[in-house]
Chain A
Amino acid sequence: MARPVHPQAMTPSRAGRTRTAAPQAASGWYTQPRMLKYLLFDATGIVYLLVGFIALRVVWALGSGPEAWQELMRQLANPLYVAFHAVALVSVVFVAVRFFSLFPKAQPAHIGPVKPPPAPLIMAGLYAAWLGVTAVVTLILAGGLF
């Protein structure tokens, strides 16, 4: 029927004058598609944490000589790592799309004398920047630049 939330949620600074029952949240709530989407959005943080560890590992291997590097490349070819990176890619795209769609309405009507551009322009700009940076980095990694 209901699940407890933080016991002090929305509790006033001075004690209530009669005995109150603890604040609850409706339990069916978290299975709704919209709520699930938001939870996944927040949960992708774990993915990035793990990507961070892998990146540290890569940097460490870079500084440890060519044999360590070759060993790392061999390990990263393992299908589990490939699957993880696929998940990471999906997470990044999912978060980016959700964030970009919510970003325009987070712009205040004006900051000092400056007005933000209209929402479609902001979103176009964000996608352009994202895809542009992705293209450049891909080119670098593929050896096309530098």
Chain B
Amino acid sequence: MSEQKKTFVITRFDPDRDPAPRQQSYEVPVQPDWKVLDALNYIKDEIDPSLSHRWSCRMAVCGSCGMMVNGKPSLTCKDAVSDYGNRIEVAPLSNFPIVRDLIVELESFMEKLKSVKPWIVKAKERALEEGAHRQSPEQLEEFKQFSYCINCMLCYSACPVVANEPDFLGPAAIALGHRYNMDSRDEGQSERNEIFRGEGTVFSCSYANECSEVCPKHVDPAAAVNQAKFNAVIDWVTGFVTTRGGK
């Protein structure tokens, strides 16, 4: 296996010691099939054990390892080192408060996720004896794509609105809420549409489409958010015409 040296410039921040984030360079002998995460692990294992970063599955499904690589939001277990030149900058995800080194504060994201009621809402809970709902493959297709989100938050880093409006629900949370709205088994559309029109309003989205460009799982959150806008408006209109409640 041939080796090559690349320079990794990594953002470091230890709140115990550093007044502000700083950068530190490392020379890493990279293998041709390495992902950026492999290089970070090499740095931690062999050069500087104090580098802290989140990672787990290394197969692009757990969503832990999102970071900025050369200024773009990236899932570091999926991006190949060979796609970059000899100098690679790794920084924590944009738009998030930084906890330590490459680790960001997730709590706001978890709150936003929970606020869209991401569960099946039913007027009356379905009994076990009734068995599984019937759902055709076509009905499954209507929301399936939006259920692929691994919560990696690259979309929050890419979104210009998230950068400027702290209350905005954000691409992943809205996409998840929309996923439940489009699920034929769910009866909570009115509740969620009200949330979509509320403080974290979906209408803050200006369709930059950056979220969909960076999403590693092809969820297309921009489509979800803008579809949600449509649904939210129609729900508001029908709310005047009919009595509220149910579909």
Contacts and interface: CB of A to CB of B under 8 A. Distances in A.
Interface of A: 1-2, 5-6, 8-14, 16, 18-29, 34-35, 38, 42, 102, 105-111
Contacts of B208: 35, 38
A16 B206 contact: no
Contacts of A11: 97, 105, 108, 166
A109 B164 CA distance: 30
Q: Please give me the 9 A-B residue pairs with the lowest Cβ-Cβ distance, nearest first.
A: A106-B226, A12-B107, A26-B71, A20-B97, A5-B163, A109-B142, A28-B71, A21-B98, A8-B166
Contact of A38 (B142, B210, B226): B210
B111 interface: yes
B95 A105 contact: no
11 contacts: A1-B89, A6-B166, A10-B109, A16-B105, A21-B13, A23-B94, A23-B95, A24-B21, A24-B95, A29-B94, A106-B207
A35 B164 contact: no
A10 B223 contact: no
Given A11-B105, A25-B157, A26-B94, 15 more contacts: A6-B164, A8-B166, A10-B97, A20-B105, A21-B13, A21-B98, A24-B95, A25-B163, A26-B72, A34-B213, A38-B209, A105-B222, A105-B227, A107-B230, A111-B234
Contacts of B108: 10-13
Given A6-B166, A9-B162, A108 B230 contact: yes
B223 A106 contact: yes
Nearest to A106: B226
Interface string B93-137: 011111100001101110100000000000000000000000000
Interface residues of B, number: 50
B190 interface: no
B122 to A, nearest CB: 19
Contact of A10 (B21, B95, B143, B222): B95
B96 A10 contact: yes
Contact of B97 (A14, A21, A26): A21
Contact of B142 (A6, A14, A110): A110
Interface string B170-210: 00000000000010000000000000000000000011111
A63 B119 CA distance: 59
Contact of B94 (A13, A24, A111): A24
A94 to B, nearest CB: 14
A25 B157 CA distance: 8
A71 B114 CA distance: 61
Contacts of A110: 142
Contacts of A8: 166
A13 B110 CA distance: 11
Contacts of A24: 21, 91, 94-95, 98
